[in-house]
Structure 1
């Protein structure tokens, strides 16, 4: 399997230690799992959550790579490739 061609979109980000979906908080929603955008650092809810805020963020910004923000999980997902990003 080839390296994800979108890894160049990753920047040095400061990850929030709050462990909340910022959009769910604003709209009084609930989330199951959190993802952190590897381009801008925003932390939002995953597709298993009712509002799917991180996917909305991808469609609005075209930021392709996210990381799990769950404790003890270390993986990246590339929206453009539709698969876990190897690095």
Structure 2
């Protein structure tokens, strides 16, 4: 499970999956509706995209050079998938 948290410890969104060997056989992204007033729609969209990245096998990035990337572990300046993220997905999924 992968979850996003706010400073007071409440979770915003989490990705839950079931694996069979190395393969995900089911997954879902759950949003905490009790926290919906904290962010605008665009921010929730970015959180959802980040969580979807986890579903596809991308890990959190924690080096500050990655602040503009989708998988930056905190809210950043994400503007869209970078070429490196696309390469990462291609490597994971074999296309």
TM-score > 0.5 by shorter chain: no
What's the TM-score, normalizing by structure 2? 0.23
TM-score, normalised via structure 1 length: 0.25
Q: Which has the higher strand share?
A: 2
Larger RCO (CA within 8 A; separation ≥ 6): 1
Higher alpha-carbon Rg: 2
